[in-house]
Amino acid sequence: MRERLSVAGRVVLAAGGGYGLAGLATALLSLTLPLARPEAVAAATLASFVLMPAVAVAVFATRSLRRAALALAGSALVLGGLVGLAMRGAP
C-alpha cells in the first residue's frame, strides 16, 4: 500500500511538476534569452519538450519521493520568482 502511494505520488509529481517546471522555464527563457522576441519564444518552447520528460525521468530516478518533491518545489519557486522579476522588467 505504501509503495502504491509512493508510485501515485511520483506520477503526480512527474506529470504536474514536470509540466509546471517546463512551463515556468519556457516563460522565463521566452523573456530572457538574448534573441529577438519570436526567436526566444520558439527556442524556449522547443526546449520545454525536452525538459519535461527529463524532469519526469528524474522524479522516478530519485531515491526518495520527499527529496524529489523538495527539489521540484525549490526549482519551481526559483523559476517562478525569476519569471515574476522578468515580467516586471518586461515592457
Partner 1 sequence: MRGSFRQSMAWLHTWSGLVVGWVLFAIFVTGTASYYRTDISRWMRPELSQAAPVATADLPKAAERAVAYLEQHAPKAKTWFIGLPQPDRPLLDLFWRNRPGEPPSHVLLDPATGTEAVLRDTEGGDFLYRFHYELHMPPLWGRWVVGTCAMIMLVALISGIVTHKRIFADFFTFRRDKAPRRSFLDAHNVTGVLALPFHLMITYTGVVALATFYMPWGVTAAYKGDTRAFFTEAGWITAPRLPIGRPAPPAPLGPMIEQAQASVSERLERLTVTHFGDAQATIVAMFEEPHGLAHTPTHIAFDGASGALLEIRGGDLKPAAKTVSTLIGLHVAHFADTGLRLLFFLCGIMGSAMVATGLVLWSLARLPRASERPFFGLRLVQALNIGSVAGLPAAIAVYFLANRLLPTELASRAEWEIRAFFAAWIIAALIPLARPHRRAWSEMLALVAMLCLAVAAADIAMVEAHPLRRLSGGEVLFLWFDGAMLTLAALFAVAARKVSARARIRPRHGRLSAVYTKTRAGPACVATAKSLS
Which residues ranging from 3 to 42 are in contact with partner 1 (CB under 8 A)? 10, 14, 22-24, 26-31, 35-42
Please give the grid coordinates belonging to residue 28: 522565463
- Report the residue number, 26 or 72, with the smaller CB distance to partner 1: 26
x/- letters, 49..78, toward partner 1 (CB under 8 A): xx-xxx-xx--xxxx---------------
Min dist. Cβ of residue 85 to partner 1 (A):
12
Contact present, 74 and 16 (Cβ < 8 Å): no
Closest CA to 17 of 87, 71, 82, 86: 71
Chain residues binding partner 1 by CB under 8 A are 10, 14, 22-24, 26-31, 35-46, 48-50, 52-54, 56-57, 60-63, 83, 86-87, 90
